[in-house]
Amino acid sequence: MGIYYDDNRKVFHLQSEKSSYIIEMIKGVIPAHVYWGPQLAGREFQHPLNLVERCSFSPTYLQEDKNISLDTLPSEFPSYGNGDFREPALEVHLVDGTTVTDFRYKSYTINKGKPALKGLPATYVESDEEAETLEIILQDDKTGLIAALSYTVFNDQDVITRSVRIENLGKDNLVLKRVLSANVDFHDSDYDMLQLSGTWTRERHIHKRPLVPGIQRIDSKRGSSSHQQNPFMALLAKDATEDHGEVYGFSLVYSGSFLAQAEVDQYGISRVGIGIQPFNFQWLLEPGESFQAPEAVLVRSSEGLGGLSRTYHRLYRTRLCRGEFRDSKRPILINNWEATYFNFNADKIKEIAKAGKELGLELFVLDDGWFGKRDNDDSSLGDWVEDRRKLPEGLGKLGEDITAMGMEFGLWFEPEMVSPESDLYREHPDWCLHVPGHKSSLARQQLVLDLSRKDVCDYIVESVSSVLSSAPITYVKWDMNRNMTEIGSALLPAERQRETAHRYILGLYDVLERIVSRFPHILFESCSGGGGRFDPGMLYYMPQTWTSDDTDAMERLKIQYGTSMVYPASSMGAHVSAVPNHQVHRITPLETRGHVAMSGNFGYELDLTKLTEAEREDIRKQVSEYKELRMLIQYGDFYRLLSPFEGNETAWMFVSADKKEAFATYFQVLAGPNPPLRRLRLKGLDPAKSYKLEFNGGVYRGDELMHFGLTLPQLEGDFRSLLFVLREV
């Protein structure tokens, strides 16, 4: 495994754990995509692309060979203007007003390891022996523009990461209009496209549709990766299932506006592109400057969607997330938001924390309302000073009192926002995103701070750091509750205004890097109205994300199932909340709510002081069960068993790496009359091992459990669930 180059044929062969990815330099100058599929054992590849002249409407690129047309060639990095009429990966506005560039191969390097991307999050290696990186240099001779294509192959995973760096080695200012991170031209279009779509409180639902001629696109223009679309798409062979068949995934390590699309051309070639959203984007590239695009993570699986997901889980859990919490257990928390909203004082907070300690919980999180004059959504964002009306002895004393109970103390922030009704806005009205002469739109009575500005970033770092240093804080929930409008910056000149949204994301990453580095012992959880910025870029800085503001157990089945397509359970915050549920007003059993929330980073979000003794006992049991299973759930292999998008039942399970332990849950949404007897077939077990099922004390071989399955008891009533723990005997 590694990267091999055939100098005679100008062919690069990239080998990951079970895959090959092949690039050929046609006529020694045109980078063409040849193959991405199951691993080819030989280093050399003997099958050239089949190039034939098609028709006069597909222009000839090289006069000496009429068989070569960019309109029909499967390209590695297409640019605009030379006869490729499909959407390009790169478009540049030149000083003469045209947008025609002609990038040709110049050189390459192959090195062990994986370099970091300047100013951007990316996957990484802990040893240079884990991966190899190919950099292919293309150049447009007219402008002196360089496109440095980067490919990293992980040796023990079916992963190839891609990115591109654009350098201006010419003498003129150039304007980048479109820079995608990856382009793959598949040789056919017999695929279904899978995407994760939704809205606030209904994030990352699975949608699948067949590819047809034309463009199938998902994107965000909101300034964030968004609730509506996740920066991920996959192509599935027509026979692909959860467990079998060829699947190709594309995931973007970026938290801003993005584009992911598949374009099927006249001859059935499917062009997949993913990267920064070109709409309302441009970047002025002066001589000597460079622009780094985000990383795209490409994963291939011949074991269906399940194999694809487990590869992403392993990579993102171990080589994207960082810090001491990457591999350590996450605490069970109680958050006061749905218990009190803004209406609390120090005594009430300590009552909830004390009740949590008595039930075995480990962390209390103080949510919105502790600062400024924050009695509702209307004020005080940006004024990160404790409210002495609610906390007379201050945040530090409250934190000390809670830690004295044996609980850790956590805090909510929304640092990227500002309320017009705040001291910060009155002092610095130009610090928010705005366009002079235009009214600024409000959402949740707040504006977005301009993180393209260094002074704003410095303020956030110092104000947040001051609070974190003032109290014994071990957890931070970092929220962001609106999208960008009136995107403009007071400090950027006119020709750079359309850089603002991307510069904001770069500023955000700088802020996060400085804060998490300064406070390495704090567990940071990202949030954006729940799952509005659940993306790989944020996981690089914060190893978990609040999955959704919707805490209803039945809605969470779809949300967490869809999220698992790309993201590991260790990245999902999941809480038990009160009933009737505050989002959909549904009443579900406490047991079921617990079983759903136990499939992520477990916690509670309700008033523990108002529980009955029976409810308290149930919670003690849930907490005890989760503590026994916590490391398995956070770091085991995840298998989806039954899909909530396909029927009335949902089931999933976790299996330890050594296959000695497993945990499965089954959910029935609605009860039916005289239902059939059902069996639940498990996955991922060792067929030769014997497992004791704690549910009934029975001992079963792994092959029985996977092929025959567990006989399920008939459940009475709606919204019921079962929990199964298996251990090797």
**Which residues are catalytically annotated?**
479, 549
Whole-angstrom distance, CA of residue 643 vs CA of residue 633: 19
Beta partners for 371? 386
Assigned token pair, 218: 């998902």
Q: Which residues of 568-591 are buried (b: 16+ CB within 10 A; e: fewer)?
A: bbbbbbbbbbbbebbbeeeebbbb
From residue 506, how far is each of 173, 176, 320, 373, 499 by CA, in Å? 22, 17, 17, 31, 11
In whole angstroms, how large is the CA radius of gyration of the chain? 27
Residues 161, 144 contacting (CB under 8 angstroms): no
φ, ψ of residue 372 in degrees (nearest 5): 55, -130
Nearest partner of 682 among 717, 709, 642, judged by Cα: 709
Residues 237, 246 contacting (CB under 8 angstroms): yes
Residue 352 CA, chain-centre distance (Å), reads: 32
Residues 543, 325 contacting (CB under 8 angstroms): yes
Q: Identity (one letter) of the amino acid at 594?
A: G
Q: Give the containing element (helix H, strand E) for 540.
A: none
Nearest partner of 297 among 187, 152, 509, judged by Cα: 152
3-class secondary-structure state, position 554: helix
Q: Alpha-carbon torsion 505, 510, 511, 517, what sign?
A: positive
For 207-225, give the secondary structure using H, E and C: EEEECCCEEEEEECCCCCC
Whole-angstrom distance, CA of residue 537 vs CA of residue 554: 28
Assigned token pair, 688: 């030769």
Task: Output DSSP code: residue 289.
Answer: -
Assigned token pair, 205: 């639902």
Whole-angstrom distance, CA of residue 77 vs CA of residue 134: 15
Residues 523, 515 contacting (CB under 8 angstroms): no
Whole-angstrom distance, CA of residue 314 vs CA of residue 578: 33
Whole-angstrom distance, CA of residue 448 vs CA of residue 497: 16
Torsion-angle region of 304 (φ positive above 0: left; ψ -120 to 50: alpha; else: beta): left
Beta partners for 720? 668
Helices (H) and strands (E) in the chain, counts: 12, 38
3-class secondary-structure state, position 131: strand
Nearest partner of 524 among 537, 543, 538, 506, judged by Cα: 543
From residue 525, how far is each of 53, 193, 309 by CA, in Å? 55, 30, 22
Q: Which residues of 442-460 are buried (b: 16+ CB within 10 A; e: fewer)?
A: eeeebbbbbbbbeebbebb
3-class secondary-structure state, position 51: coil
